[in-house]
Amino acid sequence: MPRQGYHHGNLRQALVDAALGLIAEKGPQGFTLSEAAKAAEVTPAAVYRHFAGRDELLVEVARQGYDIFGALMEYVFDDGKPSALAAFESVGRAYLAFARKYPGHYKAMFESGLPHADVAIAARKCNEVLENAAARLSEHIPPEKRPPAAMFSAHIWAMSHGVVELFTRGGARSPFPPEDLLEAGIGIYLRGLGLLPPDA
């Protein structure tokens, strides 16, 4: 197919899609902007009408990833239904599902190391969903005894990320599915904080 100029149907998104394939294959720092142009079947000059360089392209990939991730978390949280605990656990499992289904976005979000205001805003929206889920889970505890939702939501995020890195992407072996590992870990942690009774 002959390469096209910048009059591409949606060149900006075509470049993002091309970058996603390259990121999944080579990592976020393993490809050039010229390679992204080639994968999108456009000239390298056309790319610069949308992105000043590879880093800017990576920022857009990461931003879109956080948007997808936040929408997924919001969907599975479902306003705390059918229960605060079930909704909270669903948000944790959504982390694993996202990492599996969107590996290119995931790598751009967590491995590109590109601080940017747009990415930070999108990431904060994801964090707000998890904090909201945490707040719902702890609202039955008197305020003076209630652990900060921001603290234990951050711990659950870290636990979810660890399970993804070790047992979903890292190739570490376990006799238990990653979802079971995460659910058990969340249960133990929440009991330790007094958020769940021992037999829950």
How many other C-beta atoms can be found within 10 angstroms of the C-beta atom of residue 189?
Answer: 15
77 and 42 within one domain: no
Is the N-terminal amide bond of 82 cis, ω within 30° of 0?
A: yes
Q: How far apart are CA 110 and CA 11, in angstroms?
A: 25
The answer to the question of residue 34 being in a domain is yes
Q: How far apart are CA 197 and CA 200, in angstroms?
A: 5
User: With 50 as the cut, is the pLDDT of residue 3 above it?
Assistant: no
pLDDT of residue 18: 95
Q: Which residues pair with 4 in a beta bridge?
A: 42
Cα angle at 165 between 106 and 175, to 5 degrees? 130
78 and 155 within one domain: yes
113 and 67 within one domain: yes
- Could you give the percent of the chain with pLDDT greater than 70? 94
108 and 174 within one domain: yes
Range of the domain at 67: 58-192
**CATH number for the domain harbouring residue 126:** 1.10.357.10
Sequence-distant (6+) residues with CB within 8 A of 64 are 16, 105
pLDDT of residue 104: 93
Q: How far apart are CA 29 and CA 123, in angstroms?
A: 20
Q: How far apart are CA 95 and CA 93, in angstroms?
A: 5
The answer to the question of residue 198 being in a domain is no
40 and 63 within one domain: no
Among 54, 60, 49, which Cα is nearest to 36's? 54
User: With 80 as the cut, is the pLDDT of residue 140 above it?
Assistant: yes
- Specify whether the CB–CB gap between 94 and 76 falls below 8 A: yes
- Per-position DSSP letters for 114-147, written without gaps between them: ---HHHHHHHHHHHHHHHHHHHHHHTTS-GGGPP
**CATH number for the domain harbouring residue 35:** 1.10.10
Give the mean pLDDT of 91-114.
Answer: 91
95 and 129 within one domain: yes
Number of Cα atoms under 13 Å in the Cβ half of residue 116: 19
> Could you tell me which residue, 29 or 169, shows the higher pLDDT?
29
- Specify whether the CB–CB gap between 68 and 98 falls below 8 A: yes
Give the mean pLDDT of 14-28.
Answer: 93
Q: How far apart are CA 151 and CA 60, in angstroms?
A: 29
62 and 18 within one domain: no
pLDDT, mean over the chain:
87
157 and 83 within one domain: yes
98 and 35 within one domain: no
pTM of the model: 0.86
39 and 8 within one domain: yes
The answer to the question of residue 155 being in a domain is yes
Using only C-alpha atoms, what is the Rg of the chain?
A: 20
Q: Which residues pair with 42 in a beta bridge?
A: 4
Please tell me the total count of domains within the chain: 2
Q: How far apart are CA 15 and CA 21, in angstroms?
A: 10
16 and 112 within one domain: no
